[in-house]
Structure 1
Amino acid sequence: MVRVIVADDEPLVRAGIKLVLSAAEDIEVIAEAGDGRAAIAEVTARSADVLLLDIRMPGMDGLTALAELTKLAPDTRVVILTTFGESEYIGRALDAGAAGFLLKDSAPEELIRAVQVVAAGEAYLSPSVTKWVIGRVSATGGTAKAVDAQRRLDVLTDREREVLELLAQGLSNADIGGRLYMSEATVKMYVSRVLGKLDCSNRVQAAILAHEAGLGDT
C-alpha cells in the first residue's frame, strides 16, 4: 500500500482528495494536515510514502514545509497540489525538490496516477506544468547557461546520456527500458546514477538540465 498524507487548509478539499484516492486499492490516506507545520509533524511521525501538499496555507506555507521536509524526511515523496499555476510557484517547488506538481483542477484519475507514479520513484508533472517547464528552459536559456549545462553532462557515459535524453522527454522507467532494451530495474539503476553524477535531487531537475543542454528536445 502507498501511504499518503494530505496537507491542505480546506477540510472539504482534504475530504475530496481522500474520496478520490479511496477508489485506488493500492493507496491509503493515513493522515491529514491543515498547514505546513502540521504536515511536517505528520510525515516525521508516520513515515508516509507520499505527501500531497498545498502551497498556500496559514502559518507555514507548503513551499517552506517542502524545504524542511527535503532534509527531515528525504524518503517521503512530495507532490505539490494547488490551484495556483503561476510560474513562480512551479519553479520554486521544483527547485526545492518536489517530485510532482499537480493542479487541483486535474481529473481524479490523474491524481491517482500521480500518487502511484511518484511512489514508484518517478516524477510526475501535470501536462500544463510540463509545458511550462519546457517554456521556462526556452525563456531563461542562453549561451552561458547552455554551455554550463553541457559541461555538467560531460561526466555521463554514452548510455547514461541516452537514459537522460529519454527521461527528459518524459518517458517512464518502463518506457525507457523498452526503447533501450533494458529491464526496468536496470533503468532505475541508471537513473539513480545520472541523478548522482549531475547532483540533481529528482528526475524533474535532471530533465530541466538536459533541456538546458539541448538534450531531449526532439
Structure 2
Amino acid sequence: MIRIIVVEDSEVVRSGIIRLLNYEQDMEVVASAGDGFEAIELLSNGASADVILVDLNMPKMDGVLLTEHIVNAFPEIRVIIFTMHAKSMFVDKSLKAGARGYLLKDGDFADIMEGIRKVFQGEIYVNKNVQRFTKGETGFSVFNKIV
C-alpha cells in the first residue's frame, strides 16, 4: 500500500485528488495539508507517508522550499511536485530541491497514477507532456540530463 500525503492550497483540487487516489487499491491518502507549514507540522507530529504530492505554488511556503525541507528532515519520504507548470525551469528547480517526480494537474489520470507508483518504487518520473515540452526548449536543464 502506498501511503500518500497531499499538500495543496486549493481545497477543491485537494479533495478531488484525494478522492481519485483513494479509489486506487494500492494507494491510501493518510493526511492532507493546505500549505507547506501545515505539512511540516503533520510530519513533525508523526504523520508518516511513502510519497508526498506537493503543489508548486502555495502561499506562505512554495513547493520547492517544502521539498527541500522534507528531503532534509524526512529523507525516506519521496516528494512529487503536482502542478500546472510545464516549463523546464520549474522542473529543474524541483528536481534540484530533491523531488523524485513531476506531474501535471491537467495530465492524464493514468500517467499521474503511473508516476506515483514509479516514484514509490524508487524511480524518477516526469510527466510525459512535460518531457515533450521541455525537450523543445533551449539551454541547460537538469531534467534533460536525466531523460
Is the pair's TM-score, using the shorter chain for normalization, greater than 0.5?
yes
Would you tell me which structure has more helix in proportion to its own residues?
Answer: 1
1:25 aligned partner: 25
1:125 aligned partner: 126
Overall identity of the aligned pairs, in %: 36
> What does 1:16-95 align with in structure 2 at a 5 Å threshold?
16-44=16-44, 45-95=46-96
With over 3 angstroms needed to count, the CA separation of the structure-2 counterparts of 1:86 and 1:134, relative to structure 1, is closer
User: What amino acid sits opposite 1:139 in the alignment?
Assistant: G
Counterpart of 1:31 in 2: which secondary structure? strand
The answer as to 2:47 corresponding to 1:110 is no
Unmatched runs of 5 consecutive residues or more in structure 1: 142-203, 212-218
> What does 1:139-218 align with in structure 2 at a 5 Å threshold?
139-140=139-140, 208=145
Paired residues in the alignment total 146
Q: Deviations over 1:15-63 (max 9, x none)?
A: 1101111221010000000111112222342221000000111111111
**8 A Cα contact 1:5 1:43, kept in partner:** no
Measured after TM superposition, the shift of residue 134 of structure 1 is 4.1
Measured after TM superposition, the shift of residue 119 of structure 1 is 0.7
- Between 1 and 2, higher relative CO (CA 8 Å, sep ≥ 6) is seen in 2
Measured after TM superposition, the shift of residue 94 of structure 1 is 1.1
Counterpart of 2:43 in 1: which secondary structure? helix
The answer as to 2:35 corresponding to 1:98 is no
User: What amino acid sits opposite 1:94 in the alignment?
Assistant: L
With over 3 angstroms needed to count, the CA separation of the structure-2 counterparts of 1:132 and 1:97, relative to structure 1, is farther
Question: Pairwise CA RMSD of aligned residues?
Answer: 2.1
User: What amino acid sits opposite 1:14 in the alignment?
Assistant: R
With over 3 angstroms needed to count, the CA separation of the structure-2 counterparts of 1:73 and 1:132, relative to structure 1, is farther
Unmatched runs of 5 consecutive residues or more in structure 2: none
2:14 aligned partner: 14
Counterpart of 2:139 in 1: which secondary structure? helix
Structure having the higher Rg: 1
With over 3 angstroms needed to count, the CA separation of the structure-2 counterparts of 1:58 and 1:28, relative to structure 1, is same
Q: Distance in 2 between matches of 1:20 and 1:130?
A: 24
Counterpart of 2:106 in 1: which secondary structure? coil
